[in-house]
Structure 1
Amino acid sequence: MTYDHHKRWRPASRKGDVCGYTLDGKTCERRGAHYCEPRADRVVAFFAELLVHPAGALANTKFVLASWQEHEIIRPLFGEVHWSEQWGRYVRRYSRATIVMARKNGKSALLSGIALYMLCGDGEESAEVYGAAATIRQAGKVFEPCRKMMLKSPLLAARLEHVKAARRIVDERTGSHYEVIPADADNELGHSPHCFILDEVLSQPDDSLWQAMRTGTGARTQPLMLAITTETSQQYSFGAEFIDEADRVLEDPKRAPHHFAFVRKTPRTPDELERLHRLFPGRPDLPVSLDWTDEANWAWSNPALGTFLSVQSLREEAKEALGDRKALNAFLQFRLNQRVSEVSRWIAMDLWDMNTGELAPNPGWIAGRLEGQRCWGGLDLSSKLDLTAWCLYFPGGELVWRFWAPQSVAPILDKFTDGKFSEWAEDGWVTLTDGDTIDYDTIYDDIETDHHLYKIIDATYDKWCGEPVRQALTKRTRMKMVESDTTFTRMTPPMSEFMRGLKAREYAHFGNPVARWMADNLECKSPRDDPDRVRPVKPSRDKTGKRIDGMPAAFFAIDGGLRGLPTPSIYESQGMSL
């Protein structure tokens, strides 16, 4: 693919003298706002002649920029200049840059190279270069490759010093430094950044850190505020606003001539696909359809695909995503760079139905099949005005529920189930108690019945329901009660195990219609602070008209199963009796 950088849109300005910038015998003779090739050559040469790749398949080889890195990011970002009346010379046109692309496309190495150039290659005295992310650990993912590049370059290693305790690289010759800072705007006032690099904008709660740094650049002749990110999962957030603005600038650069935007997102709608082909006519790497499984649509959001990004790894992730909603959302967001909701439906109903086992005609039929067997219990109590769920999980994968609700709730839930909720109650799948509030004595009676019917090893309950419920059940049954909650930490293990078991068809829910309704309503959330972490999930309870109580109850019961059977006493293990 060929590039003509002189055809890029720029403000029509003839201000200023002839540029005259010279590098290796090449002099720029242009004037006004223009693309200065020797300036761009300088940065490209800095990468190729001084830096090596810090990791991966290209580790320890010269950092020769890939074509897309060179011509679509580095050359326009550093080569576009305009005349500054204030400084009486040509300066970079772009003071702000936003790069939006999928993960694992070499952004950390690219950012590290830019940071080193801005530290000691840009000709700025007392340059302050900062890297930040949601956490020091995340920001360190840019700093660490930077440190490795410095140490592996004889010239840079001789010139720069790494101050390990401060996570700082210092250039004594110019009085400049590069360091990692926390994402705490209150403590980051007073800086005068020549360059500020913000990694993973989607993890920032607001624009306070960005603005704190931006307002400190006024004394610099050609500062650079650079943000790089993957698409966010939150529609209304600082990250979404940031990315949307870059999209607008890409479509209309006149909107903000100082803002460089490199945005690579796989389209989600026909309109987005049409827009992409309109903005980049004739590009061979453009998506050809909206089919996320088509490998022909992966290259646009993954420009490194086939070089230092493995095609096979994407194939494997795409295959996993076919039967797993959480994996699908992760693939769409982090691999195809699409915006997905932070809250998403979690269980595919075809997967749920594959785990029916025998279809039970009524709840009593199930009890007759499992009587006397060991199991674990899970209890999710609602307020007195809503549904409460109890679930038993058996080692063979059987799941058995009880549901209770006040009579007054039935008409409300009928509206959201096409009248089925009352039918489920008539068929015995839900127990309705008289009045407007739930009758806890009925719940205690039914759980006590199950205690005599099955061998319940322990029962895990949501601590929200409080101590009185635990005391009442313990007094009636002498069951071991284990406290839990629906936080990411407590929900992740049983939910992960549940999804694994669903895929392996290890469960039997006997076609419980109430549980199926709740499984279809179930949504999961994932933390947004660090995309590299395993995405824990927990039930979302904030959808009016939808109920999911049976699912947390099942996860509590499965959590008991993960703890395993109690250790037998010496009398049991040796066949002795008291």
Structure 2
Amino acid sequence: MDEYIEKVLTGEILASKKVILACKRHKKDLERAKTDDFPYYFDKERADKAIMFMEMLPDPKTLQTFPLADFQKFIIGSIYGWYRKDHPEWRRFRKAMISVARKNGKSLLISGVGLYEFLFGKDPAYSRQIFCTANDKKQASIVFEMIAKRLTALRSRDDWVKRATKRVREEIRNLDDYSYVRPLSRDTGTVDGFEPYVAILDEYAASKTIEMMELLESGQGQLDNSLTMIISTAGFDLNAPMHTIEYPYARKILEGEIEDETYFAYIAEQDNIEEIDDESTWIKSNPILSVESQYERVMNYLRKRKKESQEKGTYNSVLIKNFNMWRQAEEDSYMDIETWDDAEVPRADIQGKKVWFGVDVGRTSDLFAISWLIPFEGYWYADSFAFVGTKYGLDAKIKADRLDYRHLEEIGQCEITTLESGVIDTERVYDWLHEFVSVNDLDVQAICFDPAQYGPLLTLIEKNHPEWEQIQIRQGTLTLSMPTKQFRDDVIEKRVVHAPNEILSGAVNNAVLKTDNNGARIDKNKYANKIDALDALLDAYAVCFTTDIDNYLTDDDILNGDFGF
């Protein structure tokens, strides 16, 4: 474990930025552990004990035992080496996210964790519940069956294990302490006395909602020593909870942006798409390449996958599954996620600025989106706000849109309608817009709108703010083709940047580019996916993109003493 960390930090083993940060975090914490202020300590003996157990387990396919790879020792050593100083039997890391490319032994590794906890777990000493979970029953059974097969091999070697354990259909029982292992998925049904001591979420990137995570975490509420392990390769769905919630949370922990001492993260990925052309970097997403005996087999597999994908037009799939990079599933995606993420900036001070609003009206199932563009020196700053209808139920909408609107309302990115009908109240939309402009002392240049259902808001603005110019944006390709293409180019060149905004980012992730004889415009990739916030933003941009912000002058520029003729 220590050798791996040193090799990563010295560059002898090439690793992703996030893996390097994970190694730096461990080394830093070893120094912090020497102080009274840091409440955790590292027990190398206990870490080594867990590693030794994993190494004595047979591979279910060959029934042979193999040493753990160096990166696997780092993962297991971290999870089983750190403990609380005030309760030495309680683990430090209560949640872990492990993300590597396919064929790097992640399911095999995690089955060892499940079996170790089943046989030797403590606190509670009895009735430990270990669940192998996934989006569907078939996936949930993969790790469960690995545990069962490895246990069968142990039973043939050890009399105590043989006497103390038993499999009954889809449950593995410890007869000595009443613990058990079960597969669990959305279609499993009710689980009595649900308290998951260890919860393994396999291929979490495939989960469309946070239902399973909420179920597991709520069940762990009364446990002091529980463990949740998320293990997954990247996925196609950029609005999946793993990508929108867990992945950015883990990244922020590793980068030191937020502090969570109980969360462990190991994310092996390519740092950019250009690295795919350099085979020497493939170890970043495939750390198993550090194992000499596996090197040629894995490299030949990756070369073949890359070559075939380029010939068949399935390159995105290989980038996702074999190089652990989050990508849109559609080859005609409007904008790649790296481009959009690179253009994110901290929320700006917009006090007293000129503003162009774009409006896309929704009443029941759609969002009522208001997006805006504000000129700064040399670039446009974009942000958005949404009103959420609940006509068919808020939980159903959260599930369909894959956006946690309750959380987004708490952080100020949307507002959920309070009308019993579930319909969005246009008067409330107007009140919010009026207040937003007033509080920020904004100079409204235009309200750029999609005419569909816009009439009620148009009337309210005409009555109360006749000075706000309202500009209708025709929704055909002929009108929107040029600003749609230019917006993407300007995001690439950082001439358009954006605030952190999950609804707007989700819309960008959902958008695909449709073309006809008149040009191009965005559309959504599936019926349920929302692009309302981006539609609203492009309505504003259809007016803004002709404005020369390189030579843009504000009223303050003109009125200050430095301006003259």
Shift of 1:109: 0.8
Contact 1:101 1:230 in 2 (8 A): yes
Shift of 1:119: 0.5
Check if 1:40 corresponds to 2:52: no
For structure 1, list consecutive stretches of 5 or more residues without a partner in the other structure.
17-30, 270-289, 347-409, 419-512, 529-539, 545-578
Check if 1:54 corresponds to 2:68: no
CA distance in 2, matches of 1:68, 1:126: 32
Determine the structure 2 residue equivalent to 1:106.
105
Contact 1:342 1:525 in 2 (8 A): no
Classify 1:414/1:223 alpha carbon distance in 2 versus 1 (closer, same or farther; 3 Å).
closer
Check if 1:322 corresponds to 2:310: yes
CA distance in 2, matches of 1:152, 1:136: 24
Contact 2:275 2:282 in 1 (8 A): no
Classify 1:267/1:189 alpha carbon distance in 2 versus 1 (closer, same or farther; 3 Å).
farther
Amino acid at match of 1:328: Y
Shift of 1:311: 1.4
Check if 1:7 corresponds to 2:24: no
Contact 2:478 2:518 in 1 (8 A): no
Determine the structure 1 residue equivalent to 2:354.
none
Check if 1:224 corresponds to 2:227: yes
CA distance in 1, matches of 2:262, 2:199: 15
Contact 1:118 1:195 in 2 (8 A): yes
Amino acid at match of 2:247: I
Classify 1:188/1:248 alpha carbon distance in 2 versus 1 (closer, same or farther; 3 Å).
farther
Shift of 1:215: 2.4
Contact 2:137 2:187 in 1 (8 A): no
Contact 2:270 2:281 in 1 (8 A): yes
CA distance in 2, matches of 1:13, 1:208: 40
CA distance in 1, matches of 2:527, 2:134: 18
Cα deviation 1:196-219 (Å, max 9, x = unaligned): 001111122222221221122244
CA distance in 2, matches of 1:238, 1:219: 24
CA distance in 2, matches of 1:83, 1:42: 19
CA distance in 2, matches of 1:189, 1:268: 46
Equivalent of 2:284 in 275, 280, 300: 300
Cα deviation 1:229-280 (Å, max 9, x = unaligned): 11233333312111111111222286100000011111127xxxxxxxxxxx
Contact 1:40 1:74 in 2 (8 A): yes
CA distance in 1, matches of 2:528, 2:142: 19
Cα deviation 1:68-109 (Å, max 9, x = unaligned): 101x2000111011223xxx5442110111111111211111
Please give the secondary structure, in 2, of the residue aligned with 1:291.
Answer: helix
Amino acid at match of 2:60: P
CA distance in 2, matches of 1:248, 1:414: 42
Check if 1:259 corresponds to 2:263: yes
Determine the structure 2 residue equivalent to 1:246.
250
Which segment is superposed worse, 150-159 or 101-110?
150-159
Question: Residues 465-484 of structure 1: matches in 2 within 5 Å?
Answer: none
Please give the secondary structure, in 1, of the residue aligned with 2:270.
Answer: coil
Determine the structure 2 residue equivalent to 1:150.
151
CA distance in 2, matches of 1:250, 1:14: 21
Please give the secondary structure, in 1, of the residue aligned with 2:183.
Answer: strand
Shift of 1:187: 3.0
CA distance in 2, matches of 1:189, 1:525: 37
Amino acid at match of 1:43: A
Contact 2:132 2:202 in 1 (8 A): yes
Question: Residues 64-83 of structure 1: matches in 2 within 5 Å?
Answer: 64-70=67-73, 72-83=74-85
CA distance in 2, matches of 1:516, 1:61: 63
Amino acid at match of 2:79: L
CA distance in 1, matches of 2:162, 2:257: 39
Shift of 1:158: 4.3
Contact 1:344 1:525 in 2 (8 A): no
Please give the secondary structure, in 2, of the residue aligned with 1:230.
Answer: coil
Shift of 1:417: 6.7
Cα deviation 1:321-374 (Å, max 9, x = unaligned): 22444x11101111111111133329xxxxxxxxxxxxxxxxxxxxxxxxxxxx
CA distance in 2, matches of 1:198, 1:75: 20
> Structure 2 length as normaliser, TM-score?
0.52
Question: Residues 124-139 of structure 1: matches in 2 within 5 Å?
Answer: 124-139=125-140
Classify 1:342/1:525 alpha carbon distance in 2 versus 1 (closer, same or farther; 3 Å).
farther
Which segment is superposed worse, 253-262 or 185-194?
185-194
CA distance in 2, matches of 1:198, 1:517: 44
Classify 1:83/1:215 alpha carbon distance in 2 versus 1 (closer, same or farther; 3 Å).
farther
Contact 1:81 1:90 in 2 (8 A): yes
Question: Residues 477-556 of structure 1: matches in 2 within 5 Å?
Answer: none
CA distance in 1, matches of 2:5, 2:162: 34
Equivalent of 1:179 in 179, 182, 194: 182
Which segment is superposed worse, 222-231 or 202-211?
202-211
Give 1 or 2 for the bigger CA radius of gyration: 1
> Structure 1 length as normaliser, TM-score?
0.51
CA distance in 1, matches of 2:45, 2:257: 24
Check if 1:159 corresponds to 2:159: no
Cα deviation 1:156-176 (Å, max 9, x = unaligned): 444321112xx1111101111
Amino acid at match of 2:182: E
Count of residues paired in the alignment: 334
Contact 1:202 1:230 in 2 (8 A): yes
Determine the structure 2 residue equivalent to 1:576.
none
What's the % identity of the aligned pairs? 23
CA distance in 2, matches of 1:526, 1:40: 49
Question: Residues 79-94 of structure 1: matches in 2 within 5 Å?
Answer: 79-84=81-86, 88-94=87-93
Amino acid at match of 2:277: T
Determine the structure 2 residue equivalent to 1:491.
none
Classify 1:60/1:526 alpha carbon distance in 2 versus 1 (closer, same or farther; 3 Å).
farther
Cα deviation 1:363-399 (Å, max 9, x = unaligned): xxxxxxxxxxxxxxxxxxxxxxxxxxxxxxxxxxxxx
CA distance in 2, matches of 1:199, 1:220: 22
Cα deviation 1:493-512 (Å, max 9, x = unaligned): xxxxxxxxxxxxxxxxxxxx
Contact 2:130 2:199 in 1 (8 A): yes
CA distance in 2, matches of 1:45, 1:111: 15
Determine the structure 1 residue equivalent to 2:323.
336
Contact 1:83 1:90 in 2 (8 A): no
CA distance in 2, matches of 1:54, 1:127: 24
Contact 2:199 2:227 in 1 (8 A): yes
Amino acid at match of 2:308: E
Amino acid at match of 2:141: G
Classify 1:150/1:12 alpha carbon distance in 2 versus 1 (closer, same or farther; 3 Å).
closer
Contact 1:169 1:179 in 2 (8 A): yes
Bigger relative contact order, structure 1 or 2, given CA contacts below 8 A and separation 6+? Answer: 2
Please give the secondary structure, in 1, of the residue aligned with 2:130.
Answer: strand
Please give the secondary structure, in 2, of the residue aligned with 1:213.
Answer: helix
Contact 1:109 1:145 in 2 (8 A): yes
Shift of 1:115: 0.4
CA distance in 2, matches of 1:215, 1:61: 38
CA distance in 1, matches of 2:524, 2:308: 19
